């Protein structure tokens, strides 16, 4: 699932309240973003848990989307990944392509 919209519109708050058991990771944090970009597979494995994962500000690490697509295809766990991001054409197009038909 993806929550997209303008900055400061409540996406993070909505995601955290709605999916309170999911682990929250902000890709706004430069250290965390660097980890996600340098080794996306290890990053996702490190944050794996039994509830799900909120990846906030996904537009900062779009390369994660290919790895998320692979994991979603393998596990078939609906709602595991919650992605938030500032609304722009590139993010919308990437997320739509990655998650199409995987709900």
Share of the chain above pLDDT 70, in %: 83
Of these ranges, 3-7, 14-18, 99-103, the one predicted with the greatest mean pLDDT is: 14-18
3-state secondary structure 58-98: HHHCCCHHHHHHHHHHHHCCCCCEEEEEECCHHHHHHHHHH
Q: What confidence category does residue 92 fall into, taking pLDDT thresholds of 50, 70 and 90?
A: low
Averaged over 82-103, what is the pLDDT? 65
In whole angstroms, what is the distance from residue 31 CA to residue 52 CA?
Answer: 21
pLDDT of residue 102: 53
Averaged over 75-82, what is the pLDDT? 90
In whole angstroms, what is the distance from residue 40 CA to residue 98 CA?
Answer: 15
pTM listed for this prediction: 0.83
Q: What is the pLDDT of residues 21-69, one digit of tens each?
A: 999 999 999 999 999 999 999 999 999 999 999 999 999 999 999 999 9
| CATH fold label, 2-99 | Rossmann fold (3.40.50)
Q: Where are the domains of the chain?
A: 2-99
In whole angstroms, what is the distance from residue 28 CA to residue 8 CA?
Answer: 13
pLDDT of residue 98: 59
């Amino acid at each position: 699932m993806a929550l997209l919209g303008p900055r400061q519109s409540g996406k993070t708050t909505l995601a955290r309240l709605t999916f309170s058991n999911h682990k929250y990771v902000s890709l706004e944090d430069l250290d965390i973003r660097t980890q996600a970009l340098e080794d996306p597979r290890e990053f996702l494995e490190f944050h794996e848990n039994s509830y799900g994962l909120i990846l906030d500000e996904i537009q900062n690490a779009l390369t994660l989307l290919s790895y998320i697509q692979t994991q979603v295809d393998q596990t078939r766990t609906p709602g595991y990944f919650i992605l938030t991001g500032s609304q722009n054409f590139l993010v919308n197009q990437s997320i739509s392509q990655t998650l199409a038909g995987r709900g």
